[in-house]
Chain A
C-alpha cells in the first residue's frame, strides 16, 4: 500500500484545514453554550433572562452561519486526486 504523502498541495492542504475547522466547530459551540453556567447568580433585578436569551440565540445563529460557510466549502468538488481515502474527498466523490 502506498503511503499517504507527507506534504500536500495547496488545494488539498486548504481542504484538510477546512475539515479541521468543521471538527472544531462543535467544540467551540459546546464552550459557548456551556458558558452561561459560569455567569454566576444575578444580583438585583437585571434582565438576566432577556440577556441570556439574546446571547444564546446569537451563538446559535453564529453556529448556523459558520456551519453554512463550511458545508458550502466542503461540498465543492475536489480537484486532483491526492486525497488519501478517509478524508473529505472520498465522502464527496463517492456521494457524487
Chain B
C-alpha cells in the first residue's frame, strides 16, 4: 500500500487541526482560570523538548551514521546543565520571574540598565542565528515529503517546492493565532505550550516506535544489534577530544541561550518547582530520544543503498520495510519536531523584534511628533504578527537561497555558536556585579562579528558572500586574517575554530570593558537585583517621586494591558495605598510595579521609556543623584551648624546661670561678711564703751578695779586693731596690691621662728612638736615674712584648736621637683568633712567657744598669701587629725 500525496497532506492537516483544537481548548480553559494540570511539571518538561527539533529527529541518525557517538554531545551538554540546575537555571528562572523578563534580549537589556542598544544587538544576533535554523526545519519537512515522493512517482517536484511555503504559511497562521492572542501580563502562552507538549509526546513515541521496530523487528533484539554495531563502520569511529569537549560545551550553552529554549524554560515557567522535576525528567527525555539513534543508523547503513541520505533513515527504513503506518508516524514525529521549533522560535523572535526594534522606533517617532503613546496595545500585537511573518519569510527565503545544503547538523551547530555569543553577557551578568553595559556591548559586538566572519559567512560557500580569495588567502592577502585560520590557528576544525575565537574575544572584551568602565546607577541597581536575586525581595528604586499624573499612567497602561486589566491593577494599587477609586498616588513603589507589569508586555527598555515619557524625565540620572547628594550634604552641614550654635547658646546660658548663682552667692557672702564684721567690731566696742563709762563716772572704784577695767579696755582695743589689721591685710592680698620682698632663708630656721612666735598663743596649753630637722635643711627663696606668717597661723591654730588630751603636732617637709610640701598634722579630731571646704573662707570659725585669737580670717589670709607665693594651702583629709599641706616653689622668681 502506497501512501498517496493527498493522504499524507490529509494526515498533516488533520494533525494540525488537532493541535489547533488542543491549543484552542487550553486557551478557553485558561481564560476561565481552570488550567490546573495543564501547567504541571510534566507539561513544562515536555515543552522543553523544543530543543529536539527536526535536526534531532532526522539529523541525529545521520550524524551518528557520519560521526559515530559524537551526536551524543548535543544531548549530554543540556543534561549537564539540567542536572546542575541549582547553579544556573534556578537563578535564571527566578530572575525571569521577578524581573518579568520577556525574552533573552530583554534579560540582557534589563541587566545592563535597561539598555535598548543591547536589546537590539541580542535581537539581531538571534534573528541572524535562528533564521537558518528555521530554514532547516522547513527543509527537513520538505525532505521528508521528498522521501515519500520518491516512493510514489506521481508527485510533481513543484509540489515539494510548494510544500515548504504552505508549511511556512500554516505555521505563521498557528503562531499568530495562539502566539499573539493576547498581550498577557506574564507573556505566557498556555495554548501553545500545551500543543508543544503534545508534539513532544508524538515525536518521542514516533522515534521510540522506529527504534523498537529496528531493534526487535529488523534485527533480532539487543544482542543482534550489538553485533551489527560492532560490524558497522561506526565501530571504527574514534573520539576526537577537541570536538567531544567543544560540542558538549556548545550544546550546554545553547540550552539556555537559544531564544526558544529561554522562552519555554524561563518565560513560560509558571512554578519554580517545575524546574526541579525538569532537572531529571528533561535529561531522561533526551536519553530516550538518543537511545535508538545508533541502532537506527547502523541498520540504515547496513540495509539501505549508499545513495540514501542518512538524515532520512528514520523514514526510509520503515518505508523500505513496507511499514507505511510506522513511516507515517515517523513523518508526523519529524513534522512535530519541526513545527514546534518554528512556532516557539518565531514567538520568541517576534517578541524580541517588536519589543526592542519596532517599539523603540515607534516611540521615538511618536515623541518627535509631539503626541504621547497612542494605541500601544494594538500596535504591539500588530508588530508581533508582522514580526512572525517576517521571521518565517526570512526562514523561507534562506531555505530557497541555500536549498542545496544536505548536512542538517552543520546549520544547527552554526546557529549554536552564534547564540553562544550571549554566554559572557548572560552568565557574567547574573553572577558578577561588576559586569557593565560597556563590557557587554563590546563582548557581544565583537563575538557576533567574529562569528559572522569565521563561521556564518563562510558557511554559504566560496564566492556567495565572501569571495573565494578571502577564504583562501585572507582579506587583501593578509594571511593571518583568513576566516578559517584566524591568527594562524589551523589545528582546529572550522566550527571549533570559530567557537574558540568568537567566545575568547567576546569574553575578553566583556571582561576588559567591564573592568575599565563605570556602571550607571540603574545598571548598578539592576546588577544587584540580578546577582542577589535570592537575597533581595524589594524592587529597584528607579523612579523618584514625580509629578506623573496617575490618570496619564492609567491611560497608557490601558493601551498596553487592556482596559480591564489596567483598571484592576490600578484599583488594587489604590486599595493598597488605602485610597478608594482608580487612581493611586504615584509613589515610586507604584511606578516601579507598573513599569514591571508593563515590561512583561513590551519589554523592560520600552516600558522604562514609556513610563519615562509620562513621568517626564524623572529618571534618576547620575547628575541628579549627585545634586541630591550635594543638597543633602549642605542641609546636613547647615543643620550641624545650627546644632553647634544652639549648643553654644545653651552653654552660654548655663554659664550665665552659673555666673548669676555665683553673684547671688557673693551677694549673700557680702551680707554675711558685713554682719559678721559688724558683730566682730561691736563686741569689743560694747565692752570698751561700758567700762569707759564706768571709769568716767568715777564713783566708789578702788584702784584694783580701775586697773582691771582699763586693762579690759586696752585688750579690747588691741583686739579691734588686730581685726582691722587682718581685714586690711586680707583686702590688700585679695586685690593683689601686696608687695613681696624676696630673700633666701633656711626652711628649718623659718619653722623654728614660726613655732617660737606662736608660743604666745594659748600659752597654757602644752604642744609637743615632732620635726625632721634633716629634711628641713633646705634654702628657700620667697617672701619669707609672708611664708612664716602662714606657718605661724597654722601652728597657732593647732595650739588653739587641737582637742587631744596631749596635743601633738607633726611637721614633715618633702621636696618634689622644685616644689616643697610642708605638712602640719596634729592628733586632734580634725575637721568634719562637710566643713573642710569652708575653713578657708572668711570668718569661717567652726566653733564659737574659743574666740581667742582671730576673727576667723587666718586661713583665708593664708590662702591668699600662698596664692601670691605661687603655692597652695590645702586640707589633707584622713591623716588622723587636722592636717594642712602647704605647697610652694623652692625658688620663686622675682618677676612673678
Kindly supply a per-residue 1/0 record for chain A positions 60-73, scoring 1 wherever the CB is within 8 Å of any chain B CB and 0 otherwise.
11011111101100
A91 with B94: CB separation less than 8 A: yes
Is B244 part of the contact surface with A, judged by Cβ < 8 Å?
yes
The 4 closest A-B pairs by CB, nearest first: A26-B84, A95-B272, A67-B280, A37-B241
A91 CB to closest chain B CB, in angstroms?
6
Stretch at the interface among B154-162, B179-187, B232-240, B736-744: B232-240
- Report B246-280 CB contacts with A as 1/0, cut-off 8 Å: 00100000000000000000000001110011011
CB of A94 within 8 A of CB of B272, answer yes
**Cβ of B69 to closest chain A Cβ, rounded Å:** 6
Considering only CB atoms, which chain B residue lies closest to A72 in the complex? B276
Residue of B nearest to A28 (CB): B83
A27 to chain B: which residues have CB within 8 Å? 84
Interface 1/0s, chain B 85-123, versus A by CB < 8 A? 111001000100000000000000000000000000000
Interface string of A4-39 (1 = CB under 8 A from B): 000000000000000100110111011001101101
Cα distance, A75 to B279, chains bound together (Å) = 12
B63 to chain A minimum Cβ distance, whole angstroms, is: 14
A residues near B220, Cβ cutoff 8 Å: none
Which B residues, 747 to 763, have Cβ-Cβ distances below 8 Å to chain A?
Answer: none
Chain B facing A: main interface SS: helix
Q: What is the CA–CA distance of A94 and B537 in the complex, to the nearest angstrom?
A: 11
Query: Number of residue pairs across A and B with beta carbons under 8 Å?
Result: 121
With contacts A26-B80, A30-B80, A67-B283 taken as known, whether A37 is within 8 angstroms of B276 at the C-beta atoms is no
Tell me if B31 counts as interface (CB < 8 A to partner A). no
B680, chain A: closest CB distance, angstroms: 75
Residue A50 at the chain B interface, CB threshold 8 Å: yes
The smallest C-beta distance from B181 to any residue of chain A, in angstroms, reads: 27
> Told that A26-B83, A49-B234, A71-B279 touch, could you supply 7 new A-B pairs with CB distance under 8 A?
A22-B86, A33-B76, A33-B248, A49-B69, A63-B83, A65-B280, A95-B271
- Which B residues are in CB contact (< 8 Å) with A87? 534
Query: A23 contacts B86, CB within 8 Å?
Result: yes
- Would you call B287 an interface residue if the criterion is a C-beta within 8 Å of the partner chain's C-beta atoms? yes
Q: Which A46-96 residues have C-beta < 8 A from chain B?
A: 47-50, 52-53, 56-57, 60-61, 63-68, 70-71, 74-75, 85-87, 90-92, 94-96
Distance of A66 Cα from B177 Cα, bound (Å):
41
Contact flag A25-B84 (CB < 8 Å), given A50-B229, A60-B76, A85-B534: yes
Q: How far is the CA of A70 from the CA of B90 in the complex (A)?
A: 14
Asked whether B273 lies within 8 Å of A29 as measured between CB atoms, the reply is no
The 0/1 profile, CB within 8 Å of A marked 1, for residues 864-881 of chain B is: 000000000000000000
CB-based contact A37/B287 at 8 Å: no
Q: Is B230 an interface residue (CB 8 A)?
A: yes
Interface status of B81 (Cβ within 8 A of chain A):
yes
- Residue from A60, A66, A85 in contact with B287 in the complex, judged by beta carbons closer than 8 Å: A60
Judged by a CB distance under 8 angstroms, whether B82 is at the interface is yes
The reply to whether A33 and B283 form a contact with Cβ atoms under 8 Å apart is no
Contacts of A56 in B (CB 8 A): 69, 72, 76
**Residue-wise interface mask of B (273-310) relative to A, using a CB-CB cutoff of 8 A (1 in contact, 0 not):** 10011011101100100110010000000000000000
Residue in contact with B276 in the complex, picked from A53, A74, A85, CB distance below 8 Å:
A74
Say how far B247's CB is from chain A's closest CB, in angstroms: 11
A-B contact pairs, 30 of them (CB 8 A): A19-B86, A23-B84, A25-B83, A26-B80, A26-B81, A29-B80, A34-B244, A37-B241, A37-B245, A41-B238, A47-B229, A48-B238, A49-B69, A49-B229, A50-B230, A53-B229, A64-B83, A66-B83, A67-B83, A71-B85, A71-B276, A71-B280, A74-B276, A75-B276, A75-B277, A86-B534, A87-B534, A90-B534, A91-B94, A92-B272
Compute how far the CA of A16 lies from the CA of B673 in the bound complex, rounded to whole angstroms. Answer: 86
B274 to chain A, nearest CB (A): 9
Chain B residue at smallest Cβ distance from A56: B72
Is B535 in contact with A85, judged by CB distance below 8 angstroms? yes
Q: Does B387 lie at the interface of the complex (its beta carbon under 8 Å from any beta carbon of A)?
A: no
Contact A63 B273 (CB under 8 A): no
Nearest chain A CB to B860's CB is how many angstroms away?
65
Interface residues in B, total, Cβ within 8 A: 46
* Cα distance A92–B64 in the bound complex, in angstroms: 40
The answer to whether B84 touches A91 (Cβ under 8 A) is no
Tell yes or no: B601 within 8 A of A by CB. no
Cα A39 to Cα B69 with chains together (Å): 15
A interface secondary structure, majority: helix
Residues of A with C-beta under 8 A to B283: 60, 63-64, 67
> Chain A nearest CB: distance from B111 CB in Å?
19
Residue of B nearest to A94 (CB): B272
- A contact residues, total (Cβ < 8 Å): 44
In angstroms, Cα B75 to Cα A63, docked, is 13
Report Cα–Cα, A48/B233, bound state, in Å: 12
Knowing A37-B245, A91-B90, A95-B273 touch, does A50 contact B235 (C-beta < 8 A)?
Answer: yes
Q: Nearest chain-B residue to A90 (Cβ)?
A: B534
> In the complex, which residues 511-537 of chain B have their Cβ closer than 8 Å to any Cβ of chain A?
532, 534-535, 537
Q: Does B226 contact A (CB under 8 A)?
A: yes
Which residue of chain B has its CB nearest to the CB of A68?
B280
CA gap between A41 and B229 in the complex, in Å: 19
Q: B68 an interface residue at 8 Å Cβ cutoff?
A: yes
Partner of A29, one of B79, B235, B532: B79
A25 to B241, CA, bound (A): 22
Known: A29-B79, A95-B273. A64 touches B87 (CB 8 A): no
Query: How far apart sit A92 and B236, CA to CA, in the bound complex (Å)?
Result: 48
- In the complex, the chain B residue whose C-beta lies closest to that of A54 is B226
Q: How far is the CA of A65 from the CA of B284 in the complex (A)?
A: 9
The answer to whether B79 touches A63, judged by C-beta atoms less than 8 angstroms apart, is: yes
- B279-A67 in contact (CB<8A): yes
B287: which A residues are within 8 A, CB to CB?
Answer: 57, 60-61, 64
A residues in contact with B90, CB < 8 Å: 91
A60–B282 Cα distance when bound, in Å, is 12
Chain B contacts of A41 at CB under 8 A?
A: 238
| Cβ–Cβ contact B234 & A71, under 8 A | no
Q: Are A36 and B244 in contact (CB under 8 A)?
A: yes
Q: Say yes or no: A26-B277 contact (C-beta < 8 A), given A37-B241, A64-B284.
A: no
Residues of B within 8 A of A37 (CB): 239, 241, 244-245
Do the beta carbons of B69 and A53 come within 8 Å of each other? yes
Which A residues lie within 8 Å of B241 (CB)? 37
Residue of A nearest to B532 (CB): A86
Mark each residue of chain B from 379 to 419: 1 if its CB lies under 8 Å from any CB of chain A, else 0: 00000000000000000000000000000000000000000
The one of B87, B273, B294 that contacts A92, using a Cβ cutoff of 8 Å: B273
Contacting residues of chain B (764-795) with chain A, CB-CB under 8 angstroms:
none
| Cβ 8 A contact of B235, one of A34, A49, A95 | A49
- Tell me the complex Cα distance, A68–B532, Å: 27
